[in-house]
Structure 1
Amino acid sequence: MTGNAKSAADLTDAEVKSAADKLLSLVGGSIATYTEACLRCGQCAEACHFYHASGDPKHTPAYKLVPIAKAHKRSVSPLGWLGLAPKVTREDLAEWEELIFDSCTMCGRCTIVCPMAIDISSVVASTRQAFAKVGLGPADLREAADNSRDRGSPLGLTPEALEDRIEWLADDNELDIPLDKDKAEVLLTVSSIEMMKYPQSIVGMAKLMNAAGADWTFSSVGYESTNFGYLSGRGDIARTMIERITTAAEKTGAKTVVIPECGHAFGVMRWSAANILGRPLPFEVLHITEYLAALKRAGKLKFKPYDGSLTYHDPCQISRRGGATEEARYLLEDFATDFREMTPTGNRNWCCGGGGGVQAMARAADLRHKVFQIKMDQVEKTGAETLISSCANCRLTMDESAEHFHWDHKRDSLIELLADHVIE
């Protein structure tokens, strides 16, 4: 399938059956348990930023279990065995698509309040595969996946463009930015959002790596950390993107692969890549905040104090689902002299509204902007001058929504801020 997605109304009977069969094939192990375990208690609703913003019951996270649950019931109930259980229909697929793609960032906030600890994020990721199988899903999300496969990145950052931009950034900033070193201890990856929209983040990473004396390189073999194959439910493309990074790391002998300021890229490579490849990764995967925190603990990075007031937005896939909640705060320790936590914060912080590929969906913009009002309220209550984060996707989401609301609060990258204050 190409990036030209279609509507559920266009599906043939055979395609509807194919989607239903794919849903059924996904039911197994923990997912089957999740469909049986939901208590219909509704606690997840108040934890969801989409429900919080819209007040619409359809945005209750538990409702996202329905596609898988319907397929599951056909396989385990007596009515299903007799062929009498309701079938998945075009109307079902049309209704579910918005819930599975447009109004779920797979942030995992619902799971932390669920009394049964149902991982709805993983169910949504699996369910997207059934839609992708028959060409459903937002066209712009599918196009980003196609670009990743065919051109190297969702924004068309080809290997040639990567080389050109690195040369430009190195010259413009009088900075050594290694590309394709024969051997290196660390393979640093990029997010094309950073390279194309926030290039100073690339400069910041390079400056910090060099200041710490790290042995590192970028690679034109595997450089793009974002994985729109995973986000769009297209497993073949997800695997291709992981294989490129793995091949690059093996080629350079890297012991560590560092993911830049991108939440879902970290989640996919850190927690899903080995399962997708079907073998252990021959290297450690760290988010850039984890790697820099390790360098700071080792005494290899020191910073001049930053005197302005700051608050930190926790990217869901880095903090709540990634386990690196405290690393950013350690980097801010003894650096940010006026750091102010949001309420709630850490693993319970609200999502920016653009994760899970939602930021890339033009049709989801109105709901995404509504969700961002939650973040605006959080920031304003801290009284902090600057909002920082460690995810370029969050940053892009916040910048676009801030422009929509004419919200002039200052926003910045944690990495760029640290790089501006590193003691070389």
Structure 2
Amino acid sequence: MSETSNTAQIAVDTLVNQIDSDIASYLEACVHCGECAEACHFYETTKDPKYTPTYKLMPLVKVYKQHKSPLRWVTQIFGGPEPITEEELRDWEELVYDSCNMCGRCTLVCPMGIDIAGTIRKMREGYAAAEIYPDGLKQARKNVERTSSPMGVTEKALLVQVGKQEKETGLKIPVDVEGADYLALLSSHEIMASPEIMGAYAKIFERAGVSWTLSTKAYEATNVGVQIGSGPLAKQLVQRVVDEAERLGVKYVISPECGHAYGAIRWAGPNMIGRTFDFEVMHILEVLDQLRAEGRIPKGERDSRKMTMHDPCQIVRRGGLLNEPRRLLDESCSNFTEMKDHGITNYCCGGGGGVSANPRAEELMVGAFGNKMKQIEELGEIEAVVVPCANCRGVFEDGLFELDREDEFEVIGLAQLVADTLADDPKPAE
């Protein structure tokens, strides 16, 4: 009989608590058909059977069979299964964190409808509790606990970027305004790598007459707790936003073009803190779609470049925002074409679920990004790809660089495209 270390015991105890009726039904329902492998871009890239999505769940399966399975008393009579060891947990860590974006594409083909992505998220709770997860995510956690940003972006850095965008646009970007209707969140990538998004917001909201603000206390949308698998940290990060939104008295919190941020605060947030919010959460694409429908941000001359759009997993497949971005594109681009397997069946960029914050996984991530490039190549000469997720944009930019193809097309956010194609302000009558 193998001896279970303290580290392994912490992981096992946490996993046992994570196995609720939903997880138990998933583990019992799996028929081991392997269909999920054909939907996984990591398997498609490598053809290595270890990247079969359900295979990544084996540590959880083993804990379930030993501690929760209805037939565990019978199987234990015959000597199995053995307690899971720390060595086994560490052997599986690469599969749990490097080769799963929690994108949910595998569930689409599963004949039993198993939410493999959600189950991976539960399994990561055990790993996080035992502190068995990649160094890159450990550093992101330290940054978040210090600054609220996984990249370590401080309040001062935010204000510097705000000032630059105010000079660039000639528009005021409100900060810490009490009583505004909307509190806009940002991701670290947007603040530091794409600060023009703040200018785009200022331009759009000024035109629409929207009362909005940023916050120096809750500016970061990314929830690294979800990516790591730490429920307590995820709750803490949601609570930061909730506390500030309620202090400022806003009616809406805008989640930015960031996948896991949207799922964390919109769908999981109220459950994390144990109550409903005193405000409504809207994705920026929902806000823009609504403003355009109301005629408050009239379209101008459409971009004539041949464009396509990448569907971010957590916004489209798992978030439900399928039509909003396409309505915005219809009025912003005159030469739009869909990828094969677009919408809810689209391939993940390869960097979601914390993978892009994990340097160890870079080679695997770039390989998976190759599936996305094949989708784009099938369309012919694409001049721009609209990518309405800041994390996905970062993966696109890194992937294109690594493949020495960074000059092939522009990568652009959808809010930026909307801002760039607004109708000119009407001139006053002489």
TM-score by length of 2: 0.93
1: CA distance, partners of 2:267 / 2:141? 20
Q: How many residues are aligned here?
A: 414
Match of 2:95 in 1: 99
- Name the aligned partner's letter for residue 262 of structure 1: C
| 1:80-229 equivalent positions in 2, closer than 5 A | 84-229=80-225
Give deviations 1:90-128, integer Å, cap 9, x for gaps.
Answer: 232122111110000000001111111111111111111
Sequence identity percentage? 41
- Name the aligned partner's letter for residue 290 of structure 1: E
2: CA distance, partners of 1:238 / 1:21? 19
2: CA distance, partners of 1:81 / 1:203? 63
| 1:261-280 equivalent positions in 2, closer than 5 A | 261-280=257-276
2: CA distance, partners of 1:340 / 1:84? 54
Match of 2:348 in 1: 351
* Unaligned segments of structure 2, at least 5 residues: 426-430
1: CA distance, partners of 2:216 / 2:80? 54
SS in 1 for 2:393: helix
- Name the aligned partner's letter for residue 329 of structure 2: L
SS in 2 for 1:387: strand
Match of 1:3 in 2: none
Displacement of 1:79 in angstroms is: 4.9
- Name the aligned partner's letter for residue 15 of structure 2: L
> How well do the aligned residues superpose, as a CA RMSD in angstroms?
1.5
1: CA distance, partners of 2:263 / 2:224? 12
2: CA distance, partners of 1:90 / 1:125? 19
1:178/1:80 Cα in 2 relative to 1: closer, same or farther (>3 Å)?
farther
Match of 1:78 in 2: 73
Give deviations 1:340-386, integer Å, cap 9, x for gaps.
Answer: 00001000011100000101110101111111111111112112211
Displacement of 1:333 in angstroms is: 1.3
- More displaced, 244-253 or 350-359? 244-253
SS in 2 for 1:382: coil
1:12/1:32 Cα in 2 relative to 1: closer, same or farther (>3 Å)?
closer
- Name the aligned partner's letter for residue 397 of structure 1: V
Match of 1:7 in 2: none
The question of whether the paired residues in 1 share the 8 Å contact of 2:174 and 2:212 is answered with yes
Residue number among 322, 330, 335 corresponding to 1:333 in the alignment: 330
Match of 2:428 in 1: none
The question of whether the paired residues in 1 share the 8 Å contact of 2:4 and 2:83 is answered with no
* Unaligned segments of structure 1, at least 5 residues: 1-10
Are 2:252 and 1:256 equivalent residues in the alignment?
yes
The question of whether the paired residues in 1 share the 8 Å contact of 2:29 and 2:112 is answered with yes
Displacement of 1:291 in angstroms is: 0.9
The question of whether the paired residues in 2 share the 8 Å contact of 1:313 and 1:389 is answered with yes
TM-score by length of 1: 0.94
1: CA distance, partners of 2:49 / 2:198? 42
Match of 1:409 in 2: 408
Displacement of 1:86 in angstroms is: 1.5
2: CA distance, partners of 1:244 / 1:100? 28
2: CA distance, partners of 1:91 / 1:68? 14
2: CA distance, partners of 1:79 / 1:401? 50
Give deviations 1:121-165, integer Å, cap 9, x for gaps.
Answer: 111111111111121101111211221121121111222322232
Give deviations 1:46-101, integer Å, cap 9, x for gaps.
Answer: 10111111101011111122222111111231156667421111232122111110
Match of 1:50 in 2: 42
- Name the aligned partner's letter for residue 379 of structure 1: I
Are 2:10 and 1:18 equivalent residues in the alignment?
yes
1: CA distance, partners of 2:98 / 2:205? 37
Match of 1:4 in 2: none
1: CA distance, partners of 2:253 / 2:76? 48
- Name the aligned partner's letter for residue 67 of structure 1: P
- Name the aligned partner's letter for residue 142 of structure 2: D
The question of whether the paired residues in 2 share the 8 Å contact of 1:221 and 1:247 is answered with no
2: CA distance, partners of 1:249 / 1:69? 40
